[in-house]
Structure 1
């Protein structure tokens, strides 16, 4: 089984180049992305991008490089995390099993956050 890191990247989406810069930074250092989800957090263009990336020898360097990108406010590693998968049909009901017309959503569940902003790190525990 491949070790996976869960990331949350907060930044301002102004053009499609935002996502391209994120993916390009990871691919430049041969870091594979297993899945990606994004959502708008506020009306001023602040987005959160959730990524599942494979652990490798360049992963930490790629995370530091991501924290220094234009439009990226912070990159957070969701420690002790796992991913819960939900599948929905066309009517919005949760479904199980195989099927063609379904949307799959990956929801990270975690207990600690280690964050980087312009190379500076911080950490905090999340108690639920």
Structure 2
């Protein structure tokens, strides 16, 4: 589910993608409504870069971002399966396998980009 990014969300996005100058998607010309899709689709050069960027988050910031996925505020449907798989590996490593499995269910039920 897309949302309006909070100031904290914008801070996280800019921490993850310092090259983010504005919050507009070049493809749709609309404002970013999530953190992970622009990170994966616009700023990360590959899966390893995606993980490296996510690794910049503190434990509290990472837990917040995963919480936003879990409560339906952070969209994951626009992320390719390869990128999502690397996110799951990081969630397993930093949080737990149980949370990772929960995210798989969320990903599978996400309606995608829309």
Q: Return the TM-score normalized by structure 1.
A: 0.33
- Structure with more of its chain in strand, by fraction: 1
Structure with max Cα Rg = 1
- Structure with more of its chain in helix, by fraction: 2
